[in-house]
Amino acid sequence: MSIEISRIRKSYGAFEALQDVSLRIEKGELVALLGPSGSGKTTLLRIIAGLEIPDSGSISLNDEDATNSTARERQVGFVFQHYALFRHLTVAENVAFGLRLRPRATRPSEQDIRERVRKLLDLIQLDWLGDRYPNQLSGGQRQRVALARALAVEPRVLLLDEPFGALDAKVRKELRRWLRRLHDDLHIASVFVTHDQEEALEVADRVAIMDHGKIVQMGTPAEVYDNPASAFVYQFLGDVNLFHGRAESAETSVSYVRPYELEITPQAETAHGAVLAKVRHIAAAGPAVRLELLREDTGHALEAEITRDRYRQLRLSIGDTVGVTPRNIRVFAK
Amino acid sequence: MSLPFKKPSILPGFWPAFSYTILYLSLIVLIPLSAVFLKSVTSTWSHLWRVVTSPEVVASYRLSFGASLVAGMISVVVGFLVAWVLVRYQFPGKALADALVDLPFALPTAVAGIALTSLYTENGWLGRYLAPLGIKVAFTPLGVVVALTFIGLPFVVRAVQPVLADADAELEEAAASLGANRWQVFRLVIFPIVRPALLTGFALAFARALGEYGSVIFIAGNMPMKTEITPLLIVTKLEQYDYAGATAIAAVMLTASFLLLLAINALERRTRKFMTMG
């Protein structure tokens, strides 16, 4: 099942949520729509699901035009950020909901429904919670139930709107790996919306980065990370330092360096012409040590990330002056 | 001292709040109501029994409870619709329509009664179009139902409105993406959410209708055995200085209403169960 989105536009009053967006997602592919809030990613997802009607443009599912079909007809599984579980139904009944709706002719027998629900609850590892109500569950459990509910109707496409956004960091990491494995087993086209670049880069086969209603870059995580198309993409995909080198054409371009691409040297060993900076803060917990520096020439703040070994070698303390040399500068036209 | 129902709690003020609740319930509800029972037993049992089972009084029970039930049910259906429109749609004059809903609360009920009567008599604005169809509203049980619906509607609207406003549109979208059509979305998602509120609204409208006097007596016409409501008979007895008889009827009505409300509340608690667990 593939998804073909072509030339979609959508405005809310004067606000253009989507401006001429086109995108093709192949069967078996897991695509992330990544962007800041207001970039149009959720609107795009809802348009794919049929929950929102585009002003113009078309959507094809499996190369059949679906632009005018309703959410019901599209047979997509949709997972909401805040789960949207039916709180008056038990977990098992939530999962069975889509099956029980079917007209008698296509509805599985009661026994088959129960069997399918049991298998899905097994899959989400919550088989022991079938009789509970949603508000007796933790956030992570609820989201897994919401996923099982969407999968119960065997959707042709799985769409997830910030599925892990409301969960705490640890559960989020766990669930996104689990989602990746699940997606590989199901082999359907899946699209998920996120504003967390780490999540998108880790889980997705391809990432569509959105800004102001447009897809600004589309590619595999490695492609977009290594070859960002614009300053926006570069900034959005990780921490950055605005780095002004020597006067070179500062009017027409901007230069950026990632924190781990700054070489820190003791003041004494600093080559002539390197930038000097004062250490303002040291965060020494974690796999890498983060330094907050203040450039002595321009007064700008810099953030650097060095290995623990290097940190021990340098024997830094707050107030020291160090030399800073960028290993890799990216220059973007303004 | 420890009573079995006091659990340690970080919320202070259980005893003062509880005491005030009991005090006010006693002063305002329990003591006046017990006076009704005490007053009625100043007469002999046989006299009381004769009064509360006389054909005229029994006919009035039938009308009062019957019309109140019907009016309550109409209020539930219409009130739900009104609440739905007020919550779900934007239209010019919405604030006005919203304020209009409360008007029956504020209006002296006698005014409502006179207005309804003049509308629905055979030469009234509405009555003249209904009369050729053979529908008589004023001075019939139907008129009683109309007046009681007028009184009961705001209770349902105000009970349902906030619940409907709180209901997440995402739930409906989730149901639609799972394959539900509009009717299934309503029946399986929206209705279960508002059901407790509908029951509350029904109980309030019903209880209010049972005790309603002012708006009904004008439109009912008060024909013995046909359109006399129980509160009217109580007033009639009072006017005849038959205090024991009046309070006896009141006691019967009170007991019946109380049992009905208790049943409705129990039903409501059952439908609300899923929300309080966990």
**What is the Cα–Cα distance from B24 to B26, expressed in whole angstroms?**
5
**What is the Cα–Cα distance from A170 to B244, expressed in whole angstroms?**
73
Write out A289-302 in H/E/C secondary structure: EEEEEEECCCCCEE
Q: Taking all residues of chain A, what is their mean pLDDT, rounded to a whole number?
A: 89
- Output the six-digit token pair for A293: 């520096």
| Buried b / exposed e along A231-251 (16+ C-beta atoms within 10 A) | bbbbebbeebbebeeeeeeee
Phi, psi of A192 (to 5 degrees): -130, 145
Please report how many Cα atoms fall inside a 13 Å half-sphere around the Cα of residue A307, on the Cβ side.
3
pLDDT at B5: 65
DSSP classification of residue B132:
G
B-contacting residues of A 105-134, CB under 8 Å? Answer: 132-133
pLDDT digits (tens, 9 = 90+) for A43-54: 999 999 999 999
What ipTM was estimated for this complex? 0.83
Residues pairing with A206 in the sheet: A31
% pLDDT > 90, chain A: 49
Question: B96 in helix, strand or coil?
Answer: helix
**What is the Cα–Cα distance from B67 to B62, expressed in whole angstroms?**
8
pLDDT at B104: 86
Q: Taking all residues of chain B, what is their mean pLDDT, rounded to a whole number?
A: 87
DSSP classification of residue B121:
S
Q: How far is CA B164 from CA A135, A328, B272, in A?
A: 19, 57, 15
Q: Are A109 and B253 in contact (CB under 8 A)?
A: no
CA-based torsion, A165, A167, A173, A178: positive or negative: negative
B204-212 average pLDDT score: 90
Residue B182 burial by Cβ neighbours in a 10 Å radius (0-12, 13-18, 19+): exposed
**Residue B277 predicted with pLDDT over 60:** no
**Residue B29 predicted with pLDDT over 60:** yes
Nearest to B168 among A84, A89, A146 (CB): A84
**Residue A178 predicted with pLDDT over 50:** yes
pLDDT digits (tens, 9 = 90+) for B132-170: 888 888 888 898 999 999 999 999 999 999 999 988 889
Question: A204 in helix, strand or coil?
Answer: coil
- The amino acid present at A222, given as its one-letter code, is A
Could you give the residue ranges of the DSSP H alpha helices within B178-242?
Answer: 182-185, 191-211, 214-220, 230-239
Pairs across A and B, CB distance < 8 A: 74
Strand ordering across the sheet containing A206-211: A76-79, A157-161, A189-194, A30-34, A206-211, A214-219
In chain A, the residue whose alpha carbon lies closest to the alpha carbon of B192 is: A88
% pLDDT > 70, chain A: 98
Nearest to A84 among B171, B184, B192 (CB): B171
Cβ atoms < 10 Å from Cβ of B100: 12
B266-276 average pLDDT score: 71
**What is the Cα–Cα distance from B113 to B125, expressed in whole angstroms?**
15
pLDDT at B203: 92
Residues in Cβ contact with A173 at an 8 Å cutoff, skipping those fewer than 6 apart? none
Phi, psi of B216 (to 5 degrees): -80, -40
**Residue B273 predicted with pLDDT over 70:** no
pLDDT at A333: 80
Q: How far is B86 from chain A (nearest CA, A)?
A: 23
pLDDT digits (tens, 9 = 90+) for A63-113: 889 898 888 888 899 999 889 999 889 999 999 999 999 888 889 999 999
pLDDT at A248: 56
Q: Are A265 and A274 in contact (CB under 8 A)?
A: yes
In chain A, the residue whose alpha carbon lies closest to the alpha carbon of B169 is: A84
Q: Is B275 on the interface with A (CB under 8 A)?
A: yes
Q: Are A246 and A240 in contact (CB under 8 A)?
A: no
Question: A33 in helix, strand or coil?
Answer: strand
**What is the Cα–Cα distance from A190 to A160, expressed in whole angstroms?**
8
**Residue B225 predicted with pLDDT over 70:** yes
Q: Is B170 on the interface with A (CB under 8 A)?
A: yes
**What is the Cα–Cα distance from A2 to A189, expressed in whole angstroms?**
6
Tell me whether residues A51 and B176 touch, CB distance under 8 A.
Answer: yes
**Residue B112 predicted with pLDDT over 90:** no
A33-39 average pLDDT score: 92
From chain B, the residues in CB contact with A78 under 8 A are 173-174, 177
DSSP classification of residue A269:
G
**Residue A138 predicted with pLDDT over 80:** yes
From chain A, the residues in CB contact with B275 under 8 A are 87-88, 135
pLDDT at A23: 93
User: Which contiguous run of DSSP H or E holds residue A192?
Assistant: strand A189-194
pLDDT at B28: 87
Nearest to B179 among A51, A85, A153 (CB): A153
- The amino acid present at A111, given as its one-letter code, is Q
pLDDT at B40: 75
Q: How many residues does chain B have?
A: 278
From chain B, the residues in CB contact with A101 under 8 A are 178-180, 184, 188
Per-residue pLDDT band for B276 (boundaries 50, 70, 90) equals very low
Q: How far is CA B254 from CA B33, B205, B248, in A?
A: 8, 16, 10
Q: How far is A250 from chain B (nearest CA, A)?
A: 48
**What is the Cα–Cα distance from A39 to A16, expressed in whole angstroms?**
10
Nearest to A71 among B168, B176, B278 (CB): B176
Question: A108 in helix, strand or coil?
Answer: coil
Q: How far is CA B70 from CA A169, B84, B214, B227, in A?
A: 55, 21, 19, 15
**Residue B231 predicted with pLDDT over 80:** yes
Of the candidates B42, B81, B26, B6, the residue with the CA atom closest to the CA atom of residue B246: B42
Per-residue pLDDT band for A58 (boundaries 50, 70, 90) equals very high
Tell me whether residues A84 and B274 touch, CB distance under 8 A.
Answer: no
Q: How many residues does chain A have?
A: 334
pLDDT at B278: 36
Question: Full-prediction pTM beyond 0.90?
Answer: no
pLDDT digits (tens, 9 = 90+) for A144-154: 999 999 999 88
Tell me whether residues A71 and B177 touch, CB distance under 8 A.
Answer: yes
Mutate to test the interface with A, among B168, B178, B198, B276 (most CBs of A within 10 A): B178
**What is the Cα–Cα distance from A39 to A179, expressed in whole angstroms?**
24
User: Which contiguous run of DSSP H or E holds residue A160?
Assistant: strand A157-161
Torsion, Cα A137 A143 A145 A147, to 10 degrees, reads 180
Q: Is A78 on the interface with B (CB under 8 A)?
A: yes
